[in-house]
Structure 1
Amino acid sequence: MIVLIEGKMFGGYQKPDFTNKETGETTKGKYIVQLMTEQKLQNDEIKNELMDVSIPAELVSKYKGKEGQTIQIKCNYMAKEKVTFYGVL
């Protein structure tokens, strides 16, 4: 299943490389896009939330320089707990 996340791009950064202590193998750090998303609450207030979304290296150029713009990112997801989905208008 793919979900579409939309928000204003706040920024982006490259995570540090990771070195496995047992094998010595180094994995390049992922690039993270930071999105400011809005959620309308039941009392009509708006809750802003900053989300970090990792993207593949081949998509980095697609998002660089888009700070302050509203963008959409197609995402897969993972969760440590059960995820609940609900329809929206």
Structure 2
Amino acid sequence: MAARIYQRPKNAMQSGKARTGDWILDFVPAEARRADPLMGWSGSGDTQSQVQLTFPSAEEAKAYAEKYGIDATAHAVPPRRLKLQAYADNFR
């Protein structure tokens, strides 16, 4: 059972940073999604892909994965760069 650990990025459509400090443990899908012949919706029999666990830190997520024998890989978060710009800079 494989999983990935990552930090949720900031939503580009909103200015708030709610829930960006949480770390997510997501399970990798075990089987491919397929289209339902009747309705055309995509789905699979893999129930682990529906599970998403949140942790306050990456260390706690790694400890949880080690405790339950989950092969997890942590993805680093790129540093946030703040571009300070004045309104007058639009008219240079």
> Could you tell me the TM-score, scaled by structure 2's length?
0.34
Is the radius of gyration larger for structure 1 or structure 2? 2
> Could you tell me the TM-score, scaled by structure 1's length?
0.34
Whichever structure has more helix as a proportion of its residues is 2
Whichever structure has more strand as a proportion of its residues is 1
